[in-house]
A and B are shown apart, each in its own frame.
Chain A
Amino acid sequence: MMSNRKNSTHHHAKTACHECDLLQVLPVAVTQNVVCCRCGALLHRAPGDQPQTSLALVLATLFVFALANVFPVVGLEVGGVRTATTLLGTVSQLMHQDMLPVAMLVLFTGVLLPGIELLALLYLLLPLTLGRVPHGFPRVMRAIQMLHPWGMVEVFLLGVLVSLVKLAHLAQVHPGIGLWSFFVLIVLLATSASRFDAALLWERYEACRAIR
């Protein structure tokens, strides 16, 4: 079969479900979520945020992300001895105990991958809002897609709550600024993830590339 370039840049309404491979036709003007008529997979999201809005959200999220990682999440006080920790503090403590794999797992899923994802989004959205194509757009988009399932900030927050209850018997527990920042952070992350419109970015990318 020959590769057919004519159809490739297309905005056909034709699509294949990514979960059951059913060939089907998308409605023309999509204003709501479209699901696959056979398996119910989400085929097309309702139009999400414009790049400008996404950019604003990403900037806010980055700021809160920094706060959440700089300030201590929880503190513990027993007989005048105070300890407090940040997410990075837990990583270094685990490394001290020769638990390098666990430390790396916490470092990557809790700090590095969400951070890289946010920075990558910033890198994409800033030029696109100015009407320029960022260098290496497809690769960065793919990286974001791959990194996304590994960011586990919301699981970490639940972990904090569980540890607070476990420690409450032992000693006096002080929730820190970091904890409140984490609450705000997961709300922002959830908002931007649910309103993130990859299809729109791809369209914007094609449009910008066509003008150039």
Chain B
Amino acid sequence: MPRYPLNSAAARGWWHCHACGLLCRGVDERPGTAAVCPRCGAEVRARKKRSVEYAWAFLLAAIICYLPANLLPIMETVMLSGTQSDTIMSGVVFLWQSGSWPLALVVFIASVLVPLLKILAMLLLLVTVQCRSRWAPRQRTRLYRLLEAIGPWSMLDIYVVALLVSLVQLQSLASIKAGPGAMAFGAVVVLTMLSAMCFDPRLIWDPIEVNDDRQA
């Protein structure tokens, strides 16, 4: 039987319904059991089901996709002068050199920095939760919240590719094709979002007892 900190709802047998926010009576404190929310009929658990396992699985998949996403071209431009392949980084460099550096910065943050930081942050959260670390729980919760908020913004490059691909179809002059990197990049975005959704931030607080709280 898992031990929850004394001031947590789970220790008193109250479970929070994620679907409608009702506080429900827990059925059984063995891990993996679920109750049914009396108001909305959703499955209610003390903690998300197999949260750490699922989060790790999606995260590892995301890390695997991260390499091809950055190394393979996301766009191929066929022009009279020849074919040019663009990776995500070269797109940023192009924007920088053409003078629109605010935009280069936005693309760099959204497509390079954010996915990388998301992966690193998820790694940090999962490792500390598995070690039952008591370090900076408030900050880690805030990190998780940030992670959820910025999740969709790395889709930016996928949309840019989609738009360029359908606009630049000038048969004889130039045409743009989407490259295999776009697929991998889309996978990274979706997988990191899924990983963050599976993670249960309450696990951060589970090792923390009432007395630790004062110092935290």
Contact = CB atoms under 8 A, between A and B. Distances in A.
A27 interface: no
A8 B25 contact: yes
B98 A83 contact: no
Contacts of A90: 162-163, 165-166
* Interface core residue of A5, A20, A85, A106 (most chain B CB under 10 Å): A20
Which range contains the number of A residues in contact with the other chain? 35 or more
A102 B159 CA distance: 9
Nearest to A1: B13
Interface string A99-112: 10111011001100
A41 B141 contact: yes
A156 B168 CA distance: 18
B103 A165 contact: yes
A14 B21 CA distance: 11
A162 B186 contact: no
A145 to B, nearest CB: 7
A62 to B, nearest CB: 21
Contact of A93 (B40, B107, B166, B187): B166
A167 B156 CA distance: 16
Given A8-B24, A198-B21, A162 B167 contact: no
A19 B23 contact: no
Contacts of B178: 94, 97, 99, 102
A79 B164 CA distance: 18
Given A10-B23, A39-B142, 12 more contacts: A15-B16, A19-B144, A22-B205, A23-B8, A89-B166, A93-B166, A102-B161, A105-B158, A142-B40, A155-B159, A159-B163, A163-B164
